[in-house]
Structure formats: C-alpha cells, structure tokens
Amino acid sequence: MKLDPAEFGRLREALLSTDVAAFARHMSDLQFHRPGGAGEAQALAEGLGLARPGTRELTETGWFVADACREYVFWLERDRRLPFADHLPGLVAEAIDGRSVLEIGSGSGINLMSMAMSGRAAEVVGLEPVEAYRQMGAILAEAEGLGPILAEPGAAEQLPFEDARFDTVLCVSAHQYFDVAPALAQIARVLRPGGQMVVIGGTLGSFSRLCSGWLLGQNGLSGAKSYVVTVANTLGYMTLGRRILVRPSKWTTAYPVYPSRGSMRRLIAAAGLVPAAETPSVGTETCFRARKPGG
Ligand SMILES: C[S@@+](CC[C@H](N)C(=O)[O-])C[C@H]1O[C@@H](n2cnc3c(N)ncnc32)[C@H](O)[C@@H]1O
C-alpha cells in the first residue's frame, strides 16, 4: 500500500497545518471503533478520503494512515521514548549510544524518531516494506521538527545492506511477521563482528495469555479464527520451520507467529549469533539479545 504523490502531498500539507496529535488520536479512535464526535479531525479525515463521508468507517488508505497514527499515539503516550527506555535503561546505553543502528520493521518510524531526537546513536537507519508507513513516518518526523530520517524499503529476509554494516540491529514488535530463520541469518550478516541484535516482541507464552484473556472475556466465536490461525502457524513454525496457513493480504505482510522463548533462542543460535542468557520482559513482550561472535 502506498499513497500516490498527490495523496501524499495533500496529507502532508494537511497534517503539517493541524494539531497532528489530535488528528492521530481521532484516527486511532476510528480504527478501534471507539465513539467520538464529528469534529475538525473527522472533517479532515473525510476531506482527505481517509474516512467515508458521514460515517466513522475508514477507507483502505485511511486504515493504513490510522495504523501509523496508532503507533504515533502510543509513542506520544510514552513521552516520545524508546519502548524499552524505562524497562532496560542499560540497553539504551549499550546498544544505542554511539552505535550505528538499523531498525527492521520500523513502521511509521517512532523508534527512529526517539533515537534521532536523543542524538545518542551515531547513525539511525530504518527498514520497512510498507510504503504508506514510510510515507507517514516522513510526515510525522517533519511534524516533530526533525530532519529526514532514512527508512529504506525492503524486507527482513533479504536486507539491502552490505555485510557487517551495523553495530546494532533492533526489531520492535515486528519479528512475528518475518520468516524468522532467514531474517535472523540476514541480521547476523549485516552485524559487524561483536555487534548486537535486540529483538523485542511477543512469544507463544504472552500470546497464549492474551488468548486466554480473550476467551475468559466470553467474546464468543467472532474473531476466534485469527487466534486459531496464529496458534497453528506458531506451532508449525516451531516444529516444521514454516507457517502452515499462509495468505498474502493487503492488510499485513504475513500472518503472525510468536515462537516460544526456547525456540527463539534456538533459531538465534542457528543463525550464528550468541544469545544472551537473560530474556527480560519489556511490558508484555520479551527482549531477545544476541551478539555476533568476534570483534
Ligand atoms: C507492529 S509494526 C511495529 C513498528 C515499529 N517497530 C514500532 O515499534 O512501532 C510491525 C512492522 O513490521 C513490518 N514488517 C512486516 N513484515 C516485515 C518483513 N518481512 N520485514 C520487515 N518488516 C516487516 C510491518 O510492515 C510493520 O510496519
């Protein structure tokens, strides 16, 4: 999904001349079907073709813009900081300070913006396959008063970077969409010897707790399909090394998988990286760290 140049120009101009945080909150409300009034943000969403006139229904482009807005709202709520800044402050010093950092699956660029704002990294590069997210990232960075932040197109399974290019490779809430084994091999390739990988995301354990909460919430069968598909794919990935149910979709690059902590550690080691002994929690997610030997 991408915005054509005219759509992008209109969206950029509109967002740079409005209260972008209020607009982002409204778009998130629309995505989560939360009630709300028909204010300036709704008029803007309708005028830009992001919401169907007279409704709170998002268009296809609107859905992608809303997705980026949702990430931006989370980021504002955590005071524009990296998601692990409070949980693992030592990690910021060790993995970011003075480092050349690649974030894979950088979405709308909120973590890239945190790093660019802090000025602590030597270099910050994003990689994101969905152009609409990269486009929103460019607008949000401008709205935040930042200069352009490099976010390359591409996928984790085939990184468009030379060998040993980065000190740190970071993935936040993204590895579940990757074909994890080849992505880890690519991460190992682009890390310099002694460089480190930081993958923060859900695991089978946290996903199972989410499922149980959902079932206990007596939500009936609607929506059950996506849980069943995710569990089947996760178990398939852990045992056979591949998703069982695969479907290209305009909404996502892949059905998610959440390998267990043990499976992730095995996959990391198989990619030639040395996993850290600890896998600390970052909220409901788990932080997997590993080093490339040498250096
Ligand atoms: C939940 S978002 C997380 C975005 C960002 N890291 C954050 O913390 O807000 C996951 C991102 O991974 C991207 N993604 C999906 N498949 C990918 C792949 N094969 N390679 C790289 N990124 C991918 C998605 O397009 C999406 O932007």
Please give the distance, rounded to the nearest whole angstrom, from the Cα atom of residue 248 to the centre of ligand 1: 15
Residue 289 burial (CB count, 10 A): 22
Average pLDDT over the chain, rounded to an integer: 93
27: left (phi over 0), alpha (psi -120 to 50) or beta: alpha
71 lines ligand 1 (CB under 6 A): yes
Termini Cα distance of the chain: 40
Distance CA 163, CA 34 (A): 46
Taking the CA atoms of 128, 2, 111 and 25 in sequence, report the sign of the dihedral they define. Answer: negative
Q: What confidence score (pLDDT) does residue 208 get?
A: 83
List, in sequence order, every residue forming a beta bridge with 289; answer none if it has no partner.
Answer: 198
Two tokens, residue 106: 């950088």
User: CA 102, 190, 267 angle in degrees (round to 5)?
Assistant: 95
Distance CA 138, CA 12 (A): 9
Residue extents of the structural domains in the chain: 5-77, 89-203+259-291
Q: Residue 218: which pLDDT band, with cuts at 50, 70 and 90? A: low
Q: Residue 211: which pLDDT band, with cuts at 50, 70 and 90? A: confident
Q: Residue 223: which pLDDT band, with cuts at 50, 70 and 90? A: low
> pTM for this structure?
0.95
Distance CA 112, CA 261 (A): 26
106 lines ligand 1 (CB under 6 A): yes
Q: What confidence score (pLDDT) does residue 225 get?
A: 76
Q: What confidence score (pLDDT) does residue 220 get?
A: 59
Q: What confidence score (pLDDT) does residue 210 get?
A: 80
Q: Give the three-state DSSP class for 1.
A: coil
167 lines ligand 1 (CB under 6 A): no
Q: What are the phi and psi torsion angles at 201 (to 5°)?
A: -175, 180
Which string of b and e fits 210-233 if b means at least 16 CB within 10 Å? Answer: eeeeeeeeeeeeeeeeebebbbeb
114 lines ligand 1 (CB under 6 A): no
111 lines ligand 1 (CB under 6 A): yes
Query: Smallest Cα–Cα separation from 159: which of 137, 183, 179?
Result: 183
pLDDT digits (tens, 9 = 90+) for 50-82: 999 988 899 999 999 999 999 999 999 999 999
User: Which ligand 1 atom is the nearest neighbour of the CA of 130?
Assistant: 25
Instruction: Tell me the DSSP string of 129-190.
Output: S-HHHHHHHHHHHHHTT-----EE--BTTB--S-TT-EEEEEEES-GGGS-HHHHHHHHHHH
Q: In testing the pocket of ligand 1, which one of 70, 80, 173, 199 has its CB within 8 Å of the most ligand atoms?
A: 173
Q: Give the three-state DSSP class for 282.
A: strand
Is the pLDDT at 37 greater than 90? The verdict is no
Q: Residue 209: which pLDDT band, with cuts at 50, 70 and 90? A: confident
Please give the distance, rounded to the nearest whole angstrom, from the Cα atom of residue 53 to the centre of ligand 1: 30
Is the pLDDT at 84 greater than 90? The verdict is yes
Residue 17 burial (CB count, 10 A): 10
156 lines ligand 1 (CB under 6 A): yes
Q: What is the mean pLDDT of residues 266-287?
A: 96
Query: Tell me, which fold does domain 89-203+259-291 have in CATH?
Result: Rossmann fold (3.40.50)
User: Which ligand 1 atom is the nearest neighbour of the CA of 110?
Assistant: 9
27 lines ligand 1 (CB under 6 A): no
**β 100-104/123-127 pair status:** parallel
* 3-state SS, one letter per residue, for 48-73: CCCECCCCCCECHHHHHHHHHHHHHH
Query: Smallest Cα–Cα separation from 190: which of 163, 152, 230?
Result: 163
Q: What confidence score (pLDDT) does residue 243 get?
A: 92
Q: What confidence score (pLDDT) does residue 217 get?
A: 66
Is the pLDDT at 219 greater than 60? The verdict is no
177 lines ligand 1 (CB under 6 A): yes
Higher pLDDT, 233 or 251: 233
- Whose tokens are 């600390």? That residue is 280
Q: What confidence score (pLDDT) does residue 229 get?
A: 86
Please give the distance, rounded to the nearest whole angstrom, from the Cα atom of residue 253 to the centre of ligand 1: 9
pLDDT digits (tens, 9 = 90+) for 115-130: 999 999 999 999 999 9
268 lines ligand 1 (CB under 6 A): no
109 lines ligand 1 (CB under 6 A): no
